Amino acid sequence: MSSTAGQVIKCKGKPLVIEEVEVAPPEAGEVRLKILYTSLCHTDVYFWEAKGQTPLFPRIFGHEAGGIVESVGEGVTHLKPGDHALPVFTGECGECAHCKSEESNMCDLLRINTDRGVMIHDSQTRFSIKGQPIYHFVGTSTFSEYTVVHAGCVAKVNPAAPLDKICVLSCGICTGLENPGLDIVRNNNVSLGATVNVAKPKPGSSVAIFGLGAVGLAAAEGARISGASRIIGVDLVSSRFEEAKKFGVNEFVNPKDHDKPVQQVIAEMTNGGVDRAVECTGSIQAMVSAFECVHDGWGVAVLVGVPNKDDAFKTHPVNFLNERTLKGTFYGNYKPRTDLPSVVEKYMNGELELEKFITHTVPFSEINKAFDYMLKGESIRCIIRMGE
């Protein structure tokens, strides 16, 4: 492809700039996508600011998007030109032990690698400007009108589904939504218990959600649909509380309003602790608080947020001996190619409401506005219309 518009990040923390970039054809096992809609996730902002990671610039960010397959490389059989698809930052090769297991979605070949800026096939980039390479981001780089992605990281979806809505499923909403315990369809069968559902709150139970960004709100929505009666939102920004009510949050705690640890506050509110807690911030202190605020004997805490690479989790071992459970999850335990089409159908059937996650829409030429909305805490998800 001779050229396409891409939002290239040349330096950390600086505004994105539009450049004409060369996008090479897909190699074996790859797909070239025409991106129609992309949205801004906080992960893009985090790596743009280069907080706690090894900077890699110039780079095209973006990883939450929807588009159409433009061409496929050798050996790609599950996709063809014209298919509607969602690129995903993690993948499903279908051959490794993780892909063959019903208990894992952490593909050996295609799981997320934030430091890799090249394609797996040949360790080269598919983007360039006048022969100079432009690096990829988490294998997707959706802030470009055309991008090249490993075929195992592309899920074919119902062409009737609106890409400007379902694009948010390719990252944050799925990551949060499944954690509280929604059953999903895998190979046309309801998947078994903890193989996919992590926290699994019971009807009438109590759930604390740490962080009320898009992932946390999705976790709250899942808790609501699961029948939790008390959904406690925990966030340092009180202005988020009103919006969170739309997602089932019915009580709020701002740790800054108390002179004691927030886990103690929650334990006092709930007669010993909540039944489930889901941490969606990446803050190591929030992770500790989420674990320590669940009830002894049966409480389960699930960690979703990605911490700084130098962080360490510290809690007293007695918290485990008292039969609290700590779990982690990755992309809501979804296998992208296998499971995402079913999630899209849930939206099409009216079982999932995606519109309430979308707070802003901007044209591609004004993508820096999306960053402003996110940095000011005004946006849950901002959809970016490509080609405008």
CA gap 158, 83 in Å, rounded: 9
Whether the per-residue pLDDT at 287 is higher than 70: the answer is: yes
In sequence order, what DSSP letters do the residues of 41-96 get, joined into one string?
A: -HHHHHHHTT-SS----SEE---EEEEEEEEE-TT--S--TT-EEEE-SS---SSS
Total residue count of the chain as it appears in this document:
388
To the nearest whole number, what is the mean pLDDT of the chain? 89
Q: Is the peptide bond before 363 cis (omega within 30 degrees of 0)?
A: no
> Between the CA of residue 318 and those of 70, 123, 293, 338, what are the distances in Å?
55, 47, 14, 39
Contact 143, 61 (CB under 8 A): yes
What's the confidence (pLDDT) of residue 12? 66
Distance CA 297, CA 320 (A): 9
Judge whether residue 363 has pLDDT over 60.
yes
Beta-bridge partners for 34: 68, 146
Exposure string of 44-59, with b = 16+ CB inside 10 Å and e = fewer, is: bbbbbeeeeeeebebb
pLDDT tens-digit map of 168-204: 999 877 766 654 433 333 332 222 222 234 678 899 9
The packing angle between helices 284-292 and 262-269, to 10°, is 30
Which residues are annotated as catalytic? Answer: 41-43, 63-64, 93, 96, 99, 107, 111, 171, 381
Average pLDDT over residues 328-356: 89
